[in-house]
Homo-oligomer: A and B are copies of this chain.
Amino acid sequence: MGRRTTDPPITWLMQTALSRPGLISLAAGFTDNPTLPARATRQLLDRLLSRRATAEPALQYGSTAGDPRLRRLTAERLAALEAAAVGQLPAAVRTLCAPGGSPCQPAEPDAARLLMTHGSQQLLYLVAEALCDPGDIVLVEDPTYFVWLGIVQSHGLQCRGVAMEPDGLSLPHLAQVLDELRQAGQLPRVKLLYTVSYHQNPSGITTAFHKKAAILELLRDCERRAGHPIYILEDAAYRELRFSGPDEPSYLALPGAADRVIHSSTFSKPFATGIRVGWGLLPAVLYQAAVRLKGNHDFGTACLLQHLLAEALASGEYERHLAGLRRRYARKAQILAGAMREHLPDSLSWQDPAGGLYIWAKLPGKTRTGLRSPLFQAALDHGLLYVPGELCYAPDPARQRPANELGLSFGNATEPDLREGIRRLGQAWRGLKTK
């Protein structure tokens, strides 16, 4: 399996960033340094470790599925998020989450199907491992989270990309891709659809709830021919980093979701990325397999981190921190977008983000952005690193990867660096045009 695994682009991008002093990286998914909760973490840990009764379980092994208190707090938090999001829906759309057609509350997330993991990435890995065999097909968004592509490659899976629209997957294109797979007799190999449904990394797109309903239905319709369930792996890592607009209910709010939706999220990005705790809510049939694999990987996520996060949630510190973080990223998103309007040609197009850490930009058709393109090299020469868009497209022989897109993150860079970075990109771009 190691042989299948090539160096992921994230490694290359990180090395490039480290090896060029003075380089401004708008490529990393790192979070904002000044807002990292040093004081809150210090106080929470001090409290946790000052009494043997709370210190000992935090410093001891725990259970493979995760700390029971953190699982309960996570389930409660998710339930509250869902209830609030469903409440914000227009009545006409709210009926989507009721089997009978009348507005309803989503089902309570069940802590007994919650698995705590070492970052949400480990959950994604465990799901791929539990569910897929080499040669299986996963449906992905175009563009998608490039680390997922590493997981996919590690397991020898194939991808089919589905085009994105400003409110999530293109339904006609998803129908077309499924139809092509049906005609090619490949539906039995389709195991899941992977979607980053909130403020997507890298596009910033949030999937509208009515689209989620239609997507789940399209997949359901294929199951008879597939001969097995087709799961939705909903990665909600950026859901809590929303800074404008209403929250959308997750796939979990749809009827029948408990058997088809794997919902994963994380505490790392909303609290501190150095405290790696993610989680997944899985259909019962997959849950046991994922827990067993987790048992073989590491028999449980570090208790110190889990107990720390449970304290942060229970004390309200997590929520307080999150509120500040949202304001901070709202401001940084505005600064990045403002700099783009000021320094980059009008021919660039993008969608202002409502959350998350990313802006995805499309350049005029002929301007290439890839690792070997003149623009990428010129940007590096000017001291700016972006994510070449093509790295975020899965290998899929059925379509070409767009070569004129790029990803920018306002997560880690300072405000002056956001402005200066975009100024450099503008210089690099204009330099090309005048050559």
Q: Distance in Å from the Cβ of A112 to the closest Cβ of chain B?
A: 14
A273 to B58, CA, bound (A): 9
Interface residues of A in 251-308 (CB under 8 A from B): 272-276, 286, 288-290, 292-293, 295-305, 307
Taking a contact as CB atoms closer than 8 A, the residue among B2, B14, B122, B295 that contacts A131 in the complex is B2
A147 proximal to B (CB < 8 A): yes
The answer to whether A154 touches B296 (Cβ under 8 A) is yes
A207 proximal to B (CB < 8 A): no
The answer to whether B274 touches A58 (Cβ under 8 A) is yes
The answer to whether B59 touches A292 (Cβ under 8 A) is no
Q: What residues of chain B lie closer than 8 Å to A111, measured between beta carbons?
A: none
Closest B residue to A42 by CB, please name it.
B49
Taking a contact as CB atoms closer than 8 A, the residue among B50, B59, B297 that contacts A122 in the complex is B297
Closest B residue to A288 by CB, please name it.
B7
Question: Known: A46-B46, A292-B6, A293-B2. Is A125-B59 also a contact (CB below 8 A)?
Answer: no
A30 proximal to B (CB < 8 A): yes
The answer to whether A8 touches B275 (Cβ under 8 A) is no
Question: Known: A2-B292, A275-B302. Is A59-B45 also a contact (CB below 8 A)?
Answer: no
Q: Distance in Å from the Cβ of A126 to the closest Cβ of chain B?
A: 9
A10 to B63, CA, bound (A): 10
Q: What residues of chain B lie closer than 8 Å to A14, measured between beta carbons?
A: 63
The answer to whether B118 touches A298 (Cβ under 8 A) is yes
Q: What residues of chain B lie closer than 8 Å to A29, measured between beta carbons?
A: 61
A293 to B60, CA, bound (A): 27
Closest B residue to A40 by CB, please name it.
B49
A42 to B10, CA, bound (A): 34
* Chain B proximity mask over A121-133: 1 for CB below 8 Å, otherwise 0: 1100100011101
Q: What residues of chain B lie closer than 8 Å to A58, measured between beta carbons?
A: 274
A202 proximal to B (CB < 8 A): no
Q: What residues of chain B lie closer than 8 Å to A66, measured between beta carbons?
A: none
Q: What residues of chain B lie closer than 8 Å to A297, measured between beta carbons?
A: 118, 121-122, 125, 297
Stretch at the interface among A31-39, A92-100, A332-340, A362-370: A31-39
The answer to whether B305 touches A5 (Cβ under 8 A) is no
Taking a contact as CB atoms closer than 8 A, the residue among B3, B5, B31, B295 that contacts A8 in the complex is B295
Residue of A7, A11, A62 with most partner-chain B CB within 10 A: A11
Q: Distance in Å from the Cβ of A385 to the closest Cβ of chain B?
A: 16
The answer to whether B302 touches A10 (Cβ under 8 A) is no
A residues contacting B by CB (< 8 A) are 1-3, 5-8, 10-11, 14, 29-31, 33, 36-39, 41-42, 45-46, 49-50, 52, 55-64, 118-119, 121-122, 125, 129-131, 133, 147, 150-151, 153-154, 272-276, 286, 288-290, 292-293, 295-305, 307
